[in-house]
Structure 1
Amino acid sequence: MSTSERLIESTRELLWERGYVGTSPKAIQQRAGAGQGSMYHHFSGKPELALAAIRRSADRRTALAEEQFSLPGTAVERVAAYLRRERDVLKGCPIGRLTQDPEVVADPELRRPVAETFEHLRGRLTEVLAEGQAKGELDPALDPAATAATVVAVLQGGYVLARAADSTEPFEQAAEGAIALLAARAVA
């Protein structure tokens, strides 16, 4: 892995663990095994490096979601696969956690990939649910956009509940509850 890649990955991990303020250039350099000169050779400073790291996390979340959304099966099965996929629940969502970081939220450049990730997820879920309706799998009265927003909110809320309880159980309950509600709207 190149020095710039190590710096991005180290920043990505630290942002997930500590947030923006808690991620110092020194901590990034130590985790990456890179010196200050290397860091500033590749990036103008912490904001540029953080943006690259946030984009990397966003791209990974989007790709992981797309794996489940592209699976064969009904809309409910694909959404269920998305909600049930393996996650490090107790660490929280690497993108969702950034919404609680005042420095990220206050900076339009850092906030943009976070907002775009959630917009993309809601959009793809809306498409999957609309496809399910078009195929006659789901109740035609179901609002795909509102349901997609609900699924994303349940997922993010599940992370919060799990972290508060220091247990994956609340996350799993939230995901299974959302799946049951969707399944109840399936057309037999």
Structure 2
Amino acid sequence: MGTQERLGTRERLGTQERLVRSTQELLWERGYVGTSPKAILERAGVGQGSMYHHFSGKADLALAAIRRTAEEMQQTAEECLGGPGTAYDRVAAYLLRERQVLRGCPIGRMTQDRDVVHSPELRAPLDEMFGWLRGRIAEVLTEGRRRGELAAELDPVATAATVAAVVQGGYVLARAADATAPFDAAVQGVLALLAAQATPPVPPASPVPPASA
């Protein structure tokens, strides 16, 4: 989002909403440790008194922002996993959806912050989001196996964990290389493994389109 567009959006939102959205953006950009209350206030365009009127401090505001991000990610994933098609189609839709790969995962980014990992409150939305994702993918795969779309030998729980790990690992590899190619290759690899378990086997997925930086 450009500066002018962000400013226009900010003016239309209430103070509390501006604080949460600004914190979401900063946490994704800088992580928890690198996000200062001053930076949040400047991004939101509000005074210090406004922040402490709605939240007890940085940790309280960060928790609201992390929860919001987790909810948005869950909604986006469900749009793919709950969509039409076979189990393979739905998992492929999730893996191939457009992502800002080089920015990394906004939730996975939080797991790199010691202060977040060591805080049960801040870590809870991360655990819940990743737990939900693995469980939802496992549900889709279990349904596909029951319908005869996937081989009976497929382990839905282990495969779901693999899919989730490939996405998070792909982000790390892409950021390390400053290129989306490692993420795309990881996605194509797990899709090829899943396609081989389809009954009958499905052709390889279309190449991943270039992702935004």
SS at match of 2:42: helix
* Structure 2: distance between partners of 1:68 and 1:117: 16
* Structure 2: distance between partners of 1:179 and 1:57: 26
Alignment partner, residue 184 of structure 1: 196
* Structure 2: distance between partners of 1:163 and 1:149: 22
Instruction: State the shift of 1:156 in Å.
Output: 0.3
Q: How many residues align?
A: 188
Match of 2:173 among 161, 174, 178: 161
Match of 2:92 among 70, 80, 87: 80
Matches within 5 A, 1:1-188: 1-188=13-200
* Structure 1: distance between partners of 2:121 and 2:62: 10
Structure 2 portions without partners, runs of 5+:
1-12, 201-213
Instruction: State the shift of 1:187 in Å.
Output: 1.0
* Structure 2: distance between partners of 1:170 and 1:90: 11
TM-score (norm 1): 0.99
Q: Percent identity?
A: 68
Structure 1 letter corresponding to 2:161: A
* Structure 1: distance between partners of 2:187 and 2:84: 20
Structure 2 letter corresponding to 1:81: A
* Structure 2: distance between partners of 1:101 and 1:55: 16
> Which structure dedicates a bigger proportion of its chain to helix?
1
Residues 66-94 of structure 1: CA deviation (Å, up to 9, x unaligned): 00011110111100000000010000000
* Structure 2: distance between partners of 1:101 and 1:145: 28
Structure 2 letter corresponding to 1:88: Q
Residues 82-111 of structure 1: CA deviation (Å, up to 9, x unaligned): 000001000000001111110000000000
* Structure 2: distance between partners of 1:95 and 1:111: 10
Residues 34-67 of structure 1: CA deviation (Å, up to 9, x unaligned): 1000000111100100000000010011000000
TM-score (norm 2): 0.88
SS at match of 1:44: coil
Structure 2 letter corresponding to 1:46: K
